Amino acid sequence: MRRTAVQLADGRELIYFDERPDTVREGPDRRDLPLPPPASQLRYDPLVDEWVAVAAHRQDRIFLPPSDKCPLCPSTPERSGEVPAYDYDVVVFENRFPSFSDRPGDLPGEITPFTAVRPGTGRCEVICFTADHSASFGTLPPSRVRTVLEALADRTAALSGLPEVEQVFCFENRGVEIGVTLHHPHGQVYAYPFLPPRSRAMLAAARRHAERTGGRNLYADVLAAERAAGDRVVLANEHWTAYVPAAARWPFEVHVAPHRPVPDIPALDDAERDAFGPLYLDLLRRLDRLFDRPLPYISAWHQAPVHADPALAHLHLQVFSIRRAADKLKYLAGSESAMGVFVNDIAPERAAELLRAAG
């Protein structure tokens, strides 16, 4: 693989990850772009001890353009998009409308004595999985999935080295029902300047388990229990298991976890990286076969925090959908949205059974 970093017309970084080592990238960005927006504001919510990002510039981001105006497609002699090249394999670039960035902006004075405000430092990147606008992650070959993993490992390592970053989150949103604003197959990488609420909760639970058990890893123990039970396991190979968690929140939710407890994507070895693609592609195709239509989903990598007890973490991928039937969506209504208490309409054992049958 060849890694080539270039600069876009507004100063943002773009990195090509080419599968041919002899690929040369020289084409400049021909656009006339304004400077990127300043960093968002982080406002502290004292009632729940959480930070909220206020990024008003994102209100103007591109929303579901027609395919001939997609900014993630390769450029052509007639039209320039976010990627200057006329073709590419995998490419990563700084988001033009980031939730977090290192560009300073003005902050308001005191809002209330209880509401701290600080810059939304960090970084947000877009990763395009393929130049083919009509493809999806599930249609990629295993070799391309391996390239995507290499890119995510590269970005996780690089962003973890930024002084303000506390966690690197890699994810894909797929489907307008989920809230996708660009149809081109792509994901994102968020480098947070704080620990997100779910990570804090998982870390606290893992720490309590380690204290009770003499240092055992909570996720590794849960994974071993699911593999032993077997009734929620969807598929597995030598290095990975995909299973529906016993307390799944979403109608169709699957965890894909390496058998070896590693903290993050860069820690995966070559055999684990090779084995991931075939299993994950199988899972995505099963999801699409559930209702004979593309399933909207979120695919989220849970990695170790950069500084806070990384040894307690266990890398895993959480894939879930809000579709609960061919003609029904799972909306986050009163209990879920207001109180954070999920009510699942499908038993996890039944979800696993349906996914096994879709193989």
Closest CA to 166 of 191, 200, 185: 191
Q: Report CA Rg, the chain.
A: 21
- CA torsion through residues 246, 249, 251, 253, sign: negative
Query: What is the rounded CA–CA span in Å between residue 196 and residue 201?
Result: 9
Closest CA to 71 of 178, 186, 151: 186
Q: Residue for token digits 């270039």?
A: 6
Query: What is the rounded CA–CA span in Å between residue 49 and residue 117?
Result: 13
Three-state SS annotation for 245-305: CCCCCCCEEEEEEECCCCCCHHHCCHHHHHHHHHHHHHHHHHHHHCCCCCCCEEEEEECCC
Annotated catalytic, 209? Answer: no
Ordered DSSP codes for 104-172? -----S-SBTTB-EEEE-SEEEEEE--S-TT--GGGS-HHHHHHHHHHHHHHHHHHHTSTT--EEEEEE
Q: How far is CA 153 from its chain centroid?
A: 12
Active-site residue among 133, 183, 184, 186? 186
| Catalytic residue numbers, as ranges | 186
